[in-house]
Amino acid sequence: MKIFHAADVHLGRRRLDGRLPDQDFADAFGFVAGKAIEEAADVFLIAGDLFDRAQVEPPHLRQAQQVLVALKQAAIPVVAIEGNHDRAFIHSEAPTWLQYLAEDELLILLRTPFDSTGPLLNKWENARKGGAWLDLGGVRFIGAGYL
């Protein structure tokens, strides 16, 4: 299985109070995805912090969508977890932009909820666009997210 991996993309990051462009983050993300497409990856992993903040501005959402659509058109599934920057609060259950992208079928978001007994490892289900684990090509992916 050929796996491509990206983490800490931080789309929308402001550097030097906005004096440096944020497009380079999107360009880097697009470059890695382009290589995955070129090399016919079996899966593309996003291991947290696709966005720099929980409140995503429209141009940065569009940057993510453009890359994810290209991967979808190439039939490369994208498996993602949320990082600490993707959520408003670490232990919040509030909706995130990664959930929005999952509902649009641009990625598979793996989330592992916890209760008093520990992690609840439920199989990912397409109908509810949720779950903690997924089997792809004989490999099990488990998404713990930011702990």
Nearest Cα to Cα of residue 84 among 39, 131, 112, 49: 49
Rounded Cα distance between 85 and 90, Å, is 9
Specify whether 60 is catalytic: no
Q: Is the dihedral of CA 110, 114, 117, 118 positive or negative?
A: positive
Residue among 10, 60, 85, 91 flagged as catalytic: 85
Q: 135 forms bridges with which residues in the sheet?
A: 140
> Taking CA 83 as the corner, what is the angle to CA 108 and CA 99, rounded to the nearest 5 degrees?
35
So which residues are the catalytic ones?
85
